[in-house]
Amino acid sequence: MAPLLLALAIAGGATEHGRLVLGAGAVTGWANDPFVGAGLGGGPVLAVSPDARLDLSLSPRLKLAFGGDLSWLRFTGADFEALESRARAEARLVVRRVDLSVELSAGHSEYSRAVAIAELSASSSITSTESVVLAPGARLRAGPVALRGAVELSTRWSEADDDVSERAFAPCAGLEWRVHRRLEAQVAARHERVASARPDFARVSTGGEAVLSAVAIEEGPLEVAWRGGRDRIRFDTGVAETLSHVTLEVTHPVGQVIGIVAWSWSRSEADGAAGASRNAVYAGLRARSRALSW
């Protein structure tokens, strides 16, 4: 579960005017490549990710949230490291069955060696990137079903052979359905247009994702989640690529600590070129604690 969603789950239902939640996670495992198309071989993976979130309730209808997280990953098989940091601020207005929100986030990523942008094996490579994203959205609840929509406006600056800037516009929509008290399904669709002075960065992508999560054992509990998605990307150079991914995750909470065991697979196939795949298995723990509330 993502840190932001986990913090919301812990905070849900509380009546305090504010709370500060601190968390940290660590996972280790094995992958056959640091990223799709790297061709560097397999090896052990270690990742550590501390985070913090501040929730403020200005009124029963108006909520504010501020958060930040840091992620460090090391792939020992190819001596590859990645460091990512992100900060975000969100305002949410609850009007009966409708949630209106706007989120502003900024991120920075650095890599010890050049990586393909957005896990696209046919794309150009970068060594660092910075981004700013503004995302207004809405969520409508109707019984066990919720509809959501958002528009992401972003600007990215990446270091490749030279400095490259990108401007992106991405509308997205989704549906959440609680099929049963122990089963929930989600589907989402997204279309993104990225503009850049470099045609090997400028692209259009269309894709979708489905998520199915179930509580397999209530005494515990033990939760199983499956996530799958597919995107079709076409660069302004004329190169087209298909990116597919599947993740299977099992989580088990023990107090404020959650144990995680997962497997993930992703594959990139560019027209006229051999495809590249990545498999990874990992296990870890995530802990979260309410440090302060009032």
Distance CA 173, CA 131 (A): 22
Which domains are delineated in the chain? 3-293 (2.40.160.40)
pLDDT of residue 8: 42
Tokens of 52: 């913090």
Tokens of 209: 């994702």
pTM: 0.86
Show pLDDT as tens, one digit a residue, over the chain (294 residues).
Answer: 444 434 444 444 446 789 999 999 999 999 998 888 777 888 999 999 999 999 999 999 999 999 999 999 999 877 889 999 999 999 999 998 999 999 999 999 999 988 887 777 667 889 999 999 999 999 999 999 999 999 999 999 999 878 899 999 999 999 999 998 889 999 999 999 999 999 989 999 999 999 999 988 777 689 999 999 999 999 999 889 999 999 999 999 888 899 999 999 999 888 767 778 899 999 999 998 877 888
pLDDT of residue 15: 61
CB 123 within 8 A of CB 116: yes
Residue-wise DSSP of the chain: --HHHHHHHHHTT---SEEEEEEEEEEEEEESSSSTT-----EEEEEEEEEEEEEEESSSSEEEEEEEEEEEEEETTTTEEEEEEEEEEEEEEEETTEEEEEEEEEEEEEEEEEEEGGG-TTS-EEEEEEEEEEEEEEEEEETTEEEEEEEEEEEEEEESSSEEEEEEEEEEEEEEEEEETTEEEEEEEEEEEEE-SSTTT-EEEEEEEEEEEEEEETTTTEEEEEEEEEEEEEETTS-EEEEEEEEEEEEEEETTEEEEEEEEEEEEEETTS--EEEEEEEEEEEEEEEEEE-
pLDDT of residue 246: 97
pLDDT of residue 61: 92
pLDDT of residue 55: 95
pLDDT of residue 3: 42
pLDDT of residue 79: 81
pLDDT of residue 142: 92
